[in-house]
Structure formats: C-alpha cells, structure tokens
Amino acid sequence: MSVEAREARQPWILLSPALTAVALLLFVPLIFIVIYSFWLRTATGADEVGFFLDNWQEALSDAFYRDILLNTLKIAAITTFVCAVMGYPAAYFIARAKGNKVILLLLLMLPFWISYIIRTMSWINILGVSGALNSALIWLGLIDDPIQMLYNETTVILGLVHFLLPFMVLNVFVSLDGIDTNLEDAANSLGATRWQAFLQVTLPLSLPGLAAGGLLCFVLGAGTYITPLVLGGPSDAMFANLVFEAIITQLNWPLGSALSLMLLAVLGALVLIYNRYLGMAQLMKGLG
C-alpha cells in the first residue's frame, strides 16, 4: 500500500469507534423513529405496520399541537433572552478577572456535577408551599398563609434559566476571552469612554459567542420535558412533554415519533439558519 493511501486511511481508522457509536446510537434509532412515524396504532392497542400518513396529518393539522409548539418556542426564546442578559455580565467578569479564571470557570461548572433533575427539584424546596421562601415570609409576618409560587410558566422559565445559564456564560466567555484587551485600550485612547468602547468594540466582537450560547440555550430549552414536568402546571406543557405523554403514557409510539420528528425539524432548521450565517465553528469553540 502506498504511503498516501495509508495516510488517507489513518483518520478513518482512528474515527471508526466514534463513527460506529454515532451510527448505532444516534443514526439507527433515528431511522427507527422515522419508520415508526408512518405506522398506525389501532384501537386494540397494537401497531399496524405500513405506510400511513395519519400521525403526520394529526400532528400537523391539530391546533392543539401547533399552539403548544408555539408556546414551547416562546418559552425557549424568553429563557434564551434572560440567559443572555444574566450571562453576559458574568462572562465579562470572568474574562476580565485578574486572578485565576480556571477557578471561576470551575465554579460555573460545579452545578453540572449534580443531576439536572435534582437541581430542578431543588426549586420545590425553595418556592414550594412549605419551602424556604414561604417559611421565611411567614416567619417575618409578611404573609399569613403560604403563597403558591410553583407550577406556572414563570417557574418553568426560572428552572430553564437555572439549567441553561452556564452554557450561555461559557460561550460568551470564550468569545470575550479571545478579544485582545488592547482593542479596548485603543478605543479609550481615541476618545471613547469605557462604555462607548464596550458598545463599539467588545460587544460586536463577542456577538458570535452570544449567538452560539443563544442557540444552545434555545435548542436545549425547547427540547426539555423535565423542567415543565417538575416545575410547570397542567397548562405549561412543552412540546417534548407531548412526546413523553404519547410514548410513555399512551404507548402510542407512531404518534410520538411523528411529534418528535416535528420538533426535530423545527430546531434543526434553526441550527441550519445559524450555521448559514455564523458557522458551527464558534459553537465548537464554546463546547471545547
């Protein structure tokens, strides 16, 4: 075998375990889901194998699904916005910190060591009827009876922000950390105040990181079912809850498959638009 041929094969040999894993664990199940979505669940509870468009027709025409999809996108958008507003200053602080940035980043990652479900449920201890906040308010004499603070859209967004904020901070941090501090000094020397220099130089140069963080927050936020399940009320179901409901509760795999593919298509389109204008490279930087 020639040297060129051997060198050309080498990366594929090295990649083969990863490619096998991706193929078996991601690609094959996805094909199953696509196939399932065209089967039909009969009244007896058995799945009828074939090529039926009924699930798709139901998923695409029923206003119930459409409204929940729009509500899901709305909640994801609000969450992303809150993450951006809260995360940017934190990222700026870490990027400009004089001391050990690694420690600050480690602190940021600390919550990841605790299960996302546990972190989400911790809000019940804080905001619940017998939670910390209500107990404190009663003890202070500000209220007589506990207030129901949980199980509404606000707590869902709160839980999502709690979950997603580190992703935003990390992405913005990577972007800010890559900006030469001389640029701000140069802008200041030319007459711009610190705030003007920030608006004119730092902010525009950090937008790719903000966009990458925004994309991650939006996609992860829109695809979650645990937060609305734990912290939402009956009317706060998000789209992934419908999939959960169809597959786990009703055992209707064909409909659940069609619904999950619908969400995948919407979020996939968003990723493609992002890639078209900003490129995936920035996202990789933030994840690496």
By the criterion CB under 8 A, which residues form the site for other proteins? 180, 182-183, 185-194, 196-197, 200-201, 204-205
Min separation Cβ 97 and other proteins, Å: 16
CB 55 within 8 A of CB 38: yes
Give the CA count within 13 Å in the CB-facing half-sphere of 204: 7
DSSP sequence for 180-206: -HHHHHHHHHTT--HHHHIIIIIHHHH
Min separation Cβ 177 and other proteins, Å: 15
Q: For other proteins, which is the closer residue by CB, 193 or 235?
A: 193
Min separation Cβ 180 and other proteins, Å: 6
Q: For other proteins, which is the closer residue by CB, 89 or 178?
A: 178
Min separation Cβ 178 and other proteins, Å: 11
Q: For other proteins, which is the closer residue by CB, 2 or 182?
A: 182
Token pair belonging to 279: 């490129």
Q: For other proteins, which is the closer residue by CB, 149 or 183?
A: 183
Terminal alpha carbon distance of the chain = 36
Q: For other proteins, which is the closer residue by CB, 257 or 282?
A: 282
In this structure, what DSSP letter does residue 24 have?
I
Min separation Cβ 282 and other proteins, Å: 14
Query: Cα-atom radius of gyration of the chain, to the nearest Å?
Result: 24
